[in-house]
Amino acid sequence: MINLFRKIRQKLLAENRVTRYLIYAVGEIFLVVIGILIALQVNDYRETQQTKAREKAFLHGLRSDLLLNLDELDRSIDVYSRAGRSAEVMISYFEGAPITNMDSLNFHTMEVLYWDPFVRNNSTLREMISSGSLGILSDDSLKAELLQMELRYDKIDGAQEHLRFDYQEYLYGPYFRTGDIGQAYKDYITILDGTEPTKKNSANPKSIKVLLNDPAYKNGFSLCIMNGRDLIEVLKAIKVSSQQSLSRIDKQLNETDTL
């Protein structure tokens, strides 16, 4: 093709047809420009398709993380709620309520002492942020929601770390010095399983009296209630945000699949 154009130009010059040559040269330039524009459009189309494919892959990753987070949020809300209810029972013992069942006392003690914090699942978002790919998301509202959730996750991490310190300072220390964690755990599992305890009144009355006269131990249960309530509210707020983000992602994926 190039040789053909060259021969035509040479022929026109040889015949001294300058005007036709100029018209032909302009036409040839026009064809080259059109070819370049078409090539650029094809390249842009390919890049757009690749970007959409990457965005779709990230959306699926974000969706999986959010579903895992929703399960983890439900679990953590339940854990902290149970701990708060048991802490209220323990506070009632400090305030004079009769202890009619030592196994139940051990159960409520372990419900509070059991530490199983919330752990976020945000591997896809971390990858997008670290690789500079967050801008690939076409839904600006989704980006804002995800970043806002990250800030709330950081708040949860801080609150849980603070609560863990309270546990160590006011609950674990006094109980490990005085109580019987092994027996308390056995009673806890027995009640969870719904089986009859093999040993009645397993808690030592003397150690219980020492613990119930320890103001630091009582303060630990009070902090569990107060900080736990605040933490549960943040967890519930993140659950709502996670459900909203999940709806946005599902809508975007459905629109992509119908194209």
Q: What is the pLDDT of residues 152-174, one digit of tens each?
A: 999 899 999 999 999 999 999 99
Q: What angle do CA 11, 12, 17 make, to 5 degrees?
A: 150
* pTM as predicted: 0.79
Say how far apart CA 118 and CA 121 lie, in whole Å. Answer: 10
Q: What is the pLDDT of residues 5-32, one digit of tens each?
A: 455 555 544 555 555 545 656 666 776 7
Residue 233 reports pLDDT greater than 80: yes
Residue-level pLDDT at 91? 96
Q: What is the pLDDT of residues 42-76, one digit of tens each?
A: 766 676 677 788 899 999 999 999 999 999 999 99
Rg (CA), the chain: 34
CA separation (Å) from 169 to 128, 176, 219, 228? 39, 11, 10, 16
Quickly tell me which residue has 């995800």 as its tokens: 146
- The DSSP H or E segment spanning 7 is helix 2-14
Residue-level pLDDT at 215? 94
Q: What is the pLDDT of residues 82-136, one digit of tens each?
A: 999 999 999 999 999 998 888 889 999 999 999 999 999 999 999 999 998 888 9
Residue 179 reports pLDDT greater than 70: yes
